Structure 1
Amino acid sequence: MFDSKHVRVFDEVVRTGSFAAAARNLGYTQPAISQQMKALERSVGSSLFVRVGRGLKLTDAGEVLARHAADILGAISTAQQQMTAIVRLKSGRIRIRAFPSASATLIPSAVASIKNQYPGIRIELSEGEPPDSVEALRRGDCDITLAFTYNTATEQPASDDVFAVPLLDDPLIVLLPVGHPLARRRSVELAQLAEEQWIAGCVRCRSHFVQACAAAGFDPDIGFTTDDNLAVQSLVAAGVGISVMPSMVQSFIRHPKVVSRLVAPAASRTVAAYTLAGNQNVPVTQLMLEALREAAEEMRRGA
């Protein structure tokens, strides 16, 4: 393997025809040029020039290197330009995986903020629920994943290989039809809803909901299961069931015939952004994490 600096000097010697001319053009001394060419010849394992009178003639090995020198230097220059563009955020790519309600709330604001300032950055979004989305991060399928945890030790995805950025606490709410007897209350205890029929969401949220009901002393009658937020609210509005969901889910679409009330005792899920440990220092990743923090702060202020 040879030094690209030596290749650059070699290319100048070939172009000018002498060590002296190359030294003048590059701002080196002639002995320095001679030393660098000797170092290059040691790396190659062959002489590159032979003296012919007062001039230089390329050896067979020199002819081969001369044919490729421009391509080598061009490739290095292109790589340097591209890396500089990435470091200066003029280009680059960030792949995000998020659960649906984060895709509808945090992501649009964060993406818009970045695209307005750095239009050359490509942002790709795919959806996934935790814990699968965290495993996708570990597999290298994304650069950042947004995930949520219900505050139990068994659910925490953090480990030595993952860097976590807490974003917000998302309180749980109960959805009731506007005519429900408890709709006027500021908060509703789960135990007061023990006789209701329920609409449950994703498997993970449903599991946490069932545990919360058990803690309140009852086993919920789950008549409907759907991940579709609009379907949940429409079913509640129709009076065929009620539902518990994180407030983030209702922040981007609200049915006019549904009211939301905080669950008592208060409960929430924690939303965070995750990236592989060390990746948080990559400029484009760092930029996206900061944009997500700002989007979460905007949500908290607007709550």
Structure 2
Amino acid sequence: MFDSRHIKTFHEVVRTGSYSAAARSLGYTQPAISQQMKALERDVGTPLFTRVGRGIRLTEAGEALTRHAGTILDSLLAAQQQISAIARLRTGRVRLCAFPSAGATVIPEAMARLAAEYPGIRVELQEGEPPDSLRRLARGECDITLGFTYPGLHVEVPEDLVEIPLLEDQLTVLLPAGHPLARRRAVHLADLAAERWIAGCPRCRANFLHACAEEGFTPDIAFTTDDNLVVQSLVAAGVGIAMMPALVLSFLCHKKVTGRAVEPHTRRKVSAYVLRDHLRIPATALVLDEIKTVAAARVGC
């Protein structure tokens, strides 16, 4: 493996024609130049220069190295410039995986803030829910994951991941606007025991079934879907109601649908997850900061 300093010195010796001229150009002593060239010759395993009178001449190996030295130095300079740009947040790429309701609420605002101040940072958005999204993060397929947990429902977090709590998301019930209970500010879950229900993702459905069991009934689940827009359309059509996180309320698309808080109050915890070592990567840390800022502004909303 070549030392880049030796390649730079070699390139200057060739350009100036002598050790002494290279020493003056680089600000070294002539013995220092000589020592670097001897070290480079040891690395390559063959002489690079021969003495001709009081001057020097390139060997065949030296001529071969000369043809590549400029390219090597240009590549090193380009790498240094690119790394500097990444460190100074002028450029960078972050792969962000989020569950749908976070992807439709927290993420757009955070990305707008990021684009306004750091337009060179590119974010690749992925969609996924825990525990699959956490496993994806542990495998290195993304850099940040937004996930959620419900009280009493354990989710296994790989030990090399760091959890960063963001907010607590109140659960609500989506009702047709003309539903008799839609006039209330909050609805007791037990009062909805006779309703037909639309259930969501497996973990949300597990929490929903647990909450209903706590209130003494088994819900009549008529439909299941992971698509929030499909859930809204089904509720708007009057074919069922649904328990949904409050984040969904900010992008209700149907005037015929309304959301009401559920009693007893249940909240899911929304967190960001990242590999511990990635906290030291400037672009990843920046994206996390923007997400935390947006999430903090939503607390209490």
**Bucket of the pairwise TM-score, normalised by the shorter protein:** over 0.9
Partner of 1:275: 274
Partner of 1:202: 201
CA offset digits 1:21-75 (Å, max 9, x no partner): 0011101111111111122122222221111011101122212211211111111
172-181 or 61-70, which deviates more: 172-181
Distance change >3 Å, CA 47–CA 234, structure 1 → 2: closer
Tell me the SS of whatever aligns to 1:89: coil
Partner of 1:297: 296
The CA distance in 2 between the partners of 1:19 and 1:231, in whole Å, is: 76
CA offset digits 1:101-150 (Å, max 9, x no partner): 11111111111111111112221112112211111112222111111111
Partner of 2:62: 62
The CA distance in 1 between the partners of 2:30 and 2:227, in whole Å, is: 75
Tell me the SS of whatever aligns to 1:218: coil
Counterpart residue identity of residue 262, structure 1: A
Counterpart residue identity of residue 210, structure 1: L
Partner of 1:24: 24
Partner of 1:51: 51
CA contact (8 A) 1:170 1:271 kept: yes
The CA distance in 2 between the partners of 1:221 and 1:175, in whole Å, is: 15
Unaligned runs of 5+ in 1: none
- TM-score, with normalisation over the residues of structure 1? 0.94
CA contact (8 A) 2:197 2:241 kept: yes
CA shift, 1:153, in A, is 5.7
Aligned residues: 301
Partner of 2:144: 144
Tell me the SS of whatever aligns to 1:169: strand
Unaligned runs of 5+ in 2: none
Tell me the SS of whatever aligns to 1:233: helix
CA contact (8 A) 1:49 1:62 kept: yes
The CA distance in 2 between the partners of 1:296 and 1:24, in whole Å, is: 58
Partner of 2:88: 88
The CA distance in 2 between the partners of 1:234 and 1:64, in whole Å, is: 70
Tell me the SS of whatever aligns to 2:232: helix
Counterpart residue identity of residue 203, structure 2: R
121-130 or 85-94, which deviates more: 121-130
The CA distance in 1 between the partners of 2:232 and 2:11, in whole Å, is: 71
The CA distance in 2 between the partners of 1:204 and 1:153, in whole Å, is: 8
Percent identity over paired residues: 60
CA shift, 1:178, in A, is 3.0
CA contact (8 A) 1:165 1:289 kept: no
CA shift, 1:184, in A, is 2.7
Task: List aligned pairs for 1:1-303, cutoff 5 A.
Answer: 1-152=1-152, 154-157=154-157, 159-300=158-299, 303=301
CA contact (8 A) 2:185 2:261 kept: yes
159-168 or 249-258, which deviates more: 249-258
CA contact (8 A) 2:89 2:118 kept: yes
Counterpart residue identity of residue 162, structure 1: L
CA shift, 1:151, in A, is 2.5
